[in-house]
Structure 1
Amino acid sequence: MKLKYILSILIAGLLFFPSCDEEELDKTNPNGFTTSSYYQNGLHLEKATNAIYGQFTGADLYGRMIKYLSACRSDEHASGGPQLEVHNAQLIAGTYDNTIYTLTGPWQGLYRLIHRANAVIEFGPAIEDPTLDEDIKAHRIAEAKFLRAFAYYYLVVYWGDVPLYTETVKTADGEKATSPESEIYTLLENDLGEIIPVLNVSHDDNNLGRATKGAAQLLLARILMHQGKYGAAHTVLLDIYNNGPYELVDNYAENFQEETEYNEESIFEIGFAGSNFNWWADGNGDSPADKGHVMFQDVSPVGWRNLVPSEKLINDFERVSDGDAKDDPRLSETVIFRGDAYGAEKTDTLKESDFGWYKYSPMYKLNPGGYYISTINYRNMRFAEVLIKLAECENEVGTPANAIAYLNEIRNRPSVDMPDYPTANYPCDSKDQIYRAIMHESLVEFSNELYRAVELARWRKNGKFSALNPEPIEYIATNPNKAILPIPSNEVDNNSLID
Structure 2
Amino acid sequence: MKKYKFIIKLSFIAALALPILNSCNDDDFLNMKPLGVATDGDLAAGGYEEKAFGLYGKIRTEGGVADWNRYWFQSIRSDDAAKGSTPTDAATLGNVMDKYQYAKTEFASNWNGHFSLIYACNDLIVDIEASGLKDQGTIVNSAEAKAIRAFAYFDLRRDYGAVPIILNKIIKPSDGVKAKNTVAEIDAQIISDLEFAADNLPLNWPAYPGRATKGFANSLLAKLYLYQGNYAKALAKSEEVINSGQYALVSSYETLFSEAGDNSKESVFEVQFLRLQTTNYANNYWESQGVRGTSTWDLGWGFNVPTTDLVNAYETGDPRKATTILFSGQNDGFGNTLPASPPLAQKYWNKKAYTTPSLRASYGVNKNFWKNIKIIRYADVLLIAAEAANELGNPKAASYLEKVRARARGGNSSLLPAITGGQTTLRTAIKQERRIEFAMEGERFYDLVRWGDAASVLGGLGYLDKNKYYPIPQTAIDQSGGVLIQNPNY
TM-score interval (norm. to shorter): 0.7 to 0.9
1:408 partnered with 2:396: no
Deviation digits for residues 273-305 of structure 1 (CA, Å, limit 9, x no counterpart) = 12799xxxxxxxxxxx84223333322224322
Matches of 1:245 and 1:158, distance apart in 2: 30
In the alignment, the residues of structure 2 paired with residue 370 and residue 291 of structure 1 have an alpha-carbon distance, to the nearest angstrom, of 14
Match of 2:314 among 297, 317, 325: 317
Per the alignment, do residues 478 and 67 of structure 1 end up closer, same or farther by CA in structure 2, a change over 3 Å counting?
A: closer
1:485 aligns with 2:470: yes
Is residue 113–residue 151 contact of structure 1 (8 Å, CA) maintained in 2? yes
| Worse-matched range after superposition: 482-491 or 209-218 | 482-491
In structure 2, do the counterparts of structure 1 residues 396 and 77 end up closer, same or farther at CA, with 3 Å as the change threshold? same
Alignment partner of 1:458 out of 447, 450, 464: 450
Structure 1 residue 47 and structure 2 residue 50: aligned? yes
Alignment partners' CA distance in 2, 1:431 and 1:384 = 21
What SS is found at the alignment partner of 2:374? strand
CA distance in 2 between partners of 1:262 and 1:185 (Å): 28
Equivalent position amino acid for 2:467 in 1: K
In structure 2, C-alpha distance between the alignment counterparts of 1:180 and 1:268, rounded to whole Å: 27
Contact 1:341 1:347 in 2 (8 A): yes
Given residue 198 of structure 1, which amino acid in structure 2 is its aligned partner? N
Q: What SS does the corresponding residue of 2:353 show, helix, strand or coil?
A: coil
Matched residue type, 1:67: Y
Task: Find out whether 1:441 has 2:433 as its counterpart.
Answer: yes
CA 1:404–1:391 in 2, change beyond 3 Å: closer, same or farther?
same
Q: What's the CA shift for 1:476?
A: 8.2
Matched, 1:93 2:81: no
Distance in 2 separating the partners of 1:203 and 1:385: 21
Does structure 1 conserve the Cα–Cα contact (< 8 Å) formed by 2:315 and 2:416?
no
Instruction: State the distance in 2 between where 1:186 and 1:276 align.
Output: 44
Once the 2 structures are TM-superposed, how far is the Cα of residue 432 of structure 1 from its aligned partner? Answer: 3.3
The answer as to whether partners of 1:78 and 1:307 remain within 8 angstroms in 2 is yes
Alpha-carbon distance in structure 1 between the residues aligned to 2:98 and 2:463? 15
CA RMSD of aligned residues (A): 2.7
1:498 alignment partner in structure 2: 484
Residues 371 and 100 from structure 1, CA distance in 2 versus in 1: closer, same or farther, beyond 3 angstroms?
farther
Residues 1:316 and 1:364: Cα distance change in structure 2 (over 3 Å): farther
1:357 — aligned with what? 350
**1:56 matched residue in structure 2:** 59
- The structure-2 alpha-carbon separation of the partners of 1:179 and 1:54, relative to structure 1 and needing over 3 Å to count, comes to same
Residue 337, structure 1, aligned to residue 327, structure 2:
yes
| Other structure's SS at 1:268 match | strand
Which residue identity lines up with residue 335 of structure 1 in the other structure? Answer: I
Distance 1:377 1:408 in 2: 27
Give the counterpart letter for 1:66 in structure 2.
Answer: R
Q: 1:153-302 to 2 correspondence within 5 Å? A: 153-174=154-175, 175-205=177-207, 207-274=208-275, 290-301=280-291, 302=297
Which whole-Å deviations, capped at 9, do the CAs of 1:27-62 have from their partners, x for residues lacking one?
Answer: xxxxxxxxxxxxx99787222112221122224321
Closer/same/farther in 2, CA of residues 367 and 48 from structure 1, 3 Å limit: closer
The answer to whether the 8 Å contact 1:275/1:373 transfers is no
**Amino acid aligned to 1:408:** E
Whole-Å separation in 2 of the counterparts to 1:272 and 1:254: 17
Contact 2:323–2:351 (CA under 8 A) maintained in structure 1: yes
| Kept in 2: contact 1:220–1:233 (CA 8 A) | yes
1:334–1:357 contact (8 Å) kept in structure 2 = yes
Alpha carbons 1:276, 1:292 under 8 Å: kept: no
Q: What residue is the counterpart of 2:114 in the other structure?
A: 110
Amino acid at match of 1:355: Y
* CA–CA separation in structure 1 for the residues paired with 2:379 and 2:229: 20
C-alpha contact 1:252 1:416 (8 A) present in aligned 2? no
For residues 416 and 387 of structure 1, do their structure 2 counterparts lie closer, same or farther at Cα, with a shift above 3 Å needed?
farther
Instruction: Name the larger-Rg structure.
Output: 1
Please state how far the C-alpha of 1:421 moved relative to its aligned partner: 3.2
Determine the C-alpha separation between the residues in 2 that align with 1:50 and 1:253.
31
Contact 1:268–1:380 (CA under 8 A) maintained in structure 2:
yes
Decide whether aligned partners of structure 1 residues 239 and 153 sit closer, same or farther in structure 2, where only a CA change above 3 A counts: same
- Deviation for aligned residue 1:495: 1.0
Q: Is the 8 A contact 2:455 2:463 kept in 1?
A: no
Residue 370 of structure 1: how far off its partner (Å): 7.5
Q: Letter of the aligned partner of 1:183 in structure 2?
A: E
Q: What letter corresponds to residue 82 of structure 1 in structure 2?
A: P
Q: Which amino acid aligns with 1:316?
A: A
Query: Which amino acid is the alignment partner of residue 136 of structure 1?
Result: G
Cα gap change, 1:220 to 1:43, in 2 (>3 Å):
closer
Q: Equivalents in 2 of 1:53, 1:314: separation in Å?
A: 35
> Structure 1 residue 470: deviation in Å?
6.9
CA distance in 1, matches of 2:358, 2:112: 35
Identity %: 27
Instruction: For 1:479 and 1:342, locate their aligned partners in 2 and report how far apart those are by CA, in whole Å.
Output: 37
Pairwise CA distance, 1:259: 2.7
Quote the Cα distance in structure 2 between the aligned partners of 1:478 and 1:197: 41
Identify the residue that residue 122 of structure 1 maps to in structure 2.
126
287, 298, 307: which is aligned to 2:304?
Answer: 307
Q: Is the 8 A contact 1:265 1:383 kept in 2?
A: yes
What TM-score results when the alignment is normalised by the length of structure 1?
0.78
Quote the residue 1:82 is aligned against: 87
Structure 2 Cα separation of the partners of residues 204 and 342 of structure 1: 34
SS state of the match for residue 436, structure 2?
helix
Aligned positions of 1:62-73 closer than 5 A: 62-73=66-77
Please give the residue correspondences for 1:382-393 in structure 2 after superposition, counting only pairs within 5 Å.
382-393=377-388
Letter in structure 2 aligned against 1:49: A
Distance change in 2, residues 1:374/1:152 (3 Å): same
